Amino acid sequence: MNVTLRGRTLRILDSMVRTGYANTKSEAIRLAILSFGKDHKEEILVAMKLDKIDREIAQGKRKLLTAEEALGVYAKHLKG
C-alpha cells in the first residue's frame, strides 16, 4: 500500500520520527492508527454491534417490535 501525505499530515509524520516517537514513517502511521482505534474503541464496537443486529434482522433471527409491542400495557400512553 502506498500513502501520499502532504502539508500538515506530512509535517506531523516527520515530527514523530524526528523526535523519536517512532523509528520510521511506517511505524508512525501504525502508531497513529492504533491510537485512533484506542480513542474510538467504543464507537467502533457500537457500529459492529449494530451491523450484527441488522444482519440478524435481515436473516430473521431477530424480530423488530412495534412501539405498542415494546410498551405492552403502557402502550395506552403513546401519543399520536
What contacts 15, CB < 8 A, 6 or more positions away? 21
Cell numbers describing residue 40: 474510538
- Provide the pLDDT for residue 80: 62
Reading phi first (left if > 0) and then psi (alpha if -120 to 50, else beta), residue 64 is in beta
Reading phi first (left if > 0) and then psi (alpha if -120 to 50, else beta), residue 7 is in left
- Provide the pLDDT for residue 75: 85
Extract the residue ranges of the chain whose pLDDT is less than 50: none
- Provide the pLDDT for residue 37: 87
